[in-house]
Chain A
Amino acid sequence: AQSVAQPEDQVNVAEGNPLTVKCTYSVSGNPYLFWYVQYPNRGLQFLLKYITGDNLVKGSYGFEAEFNKSQTSFHLKKPSALVSDSALYFCAVRDTGGGADGLTFGKGTHLIIQP
Chain B
Amino acid sequence: DSGVTQTPKHLITATGQRVTLRCSPRSGDLSVYWYQQSLDQGLQFLIQYYNGEERAKGNILERFSAQQFPDLHSELNLSSLELGDSALYFCASSVGDRRSTEAFFGQGTRLTVV
Contacts and interface: CB of A to CB of B under 8 A. Distances in A.
| Genuine A/B complex | yes
A49 B102 contact: yes
Interface size class of A (residues with CB under 8 A): 20 to 34
Contacts of A49: 100, 102
Contacts, number: 60
B111 to A, nearest CB: 15
Interface of A: 32, 34, 36, 41-46, 49, 51, 90, 94-96, 100-108
* Chain B interface main SS type: strand
B108 A107 contact: no
Interface residues of B, number: 26
Contacts of A90: 43
14 contacts: A41-B107, A43-B4, A43-B90, A43-B106, A43-B108, A46-B103, A46-B104, A49-B100, A90-B43, A100-B58, A101-B56, A102-B46, A105-B42, A105-B44
B99 A104 contact: no
Given A43-B2, A44-B105, A108 B42 contact: yes
B64 interface: no
Nearest to A96: B99
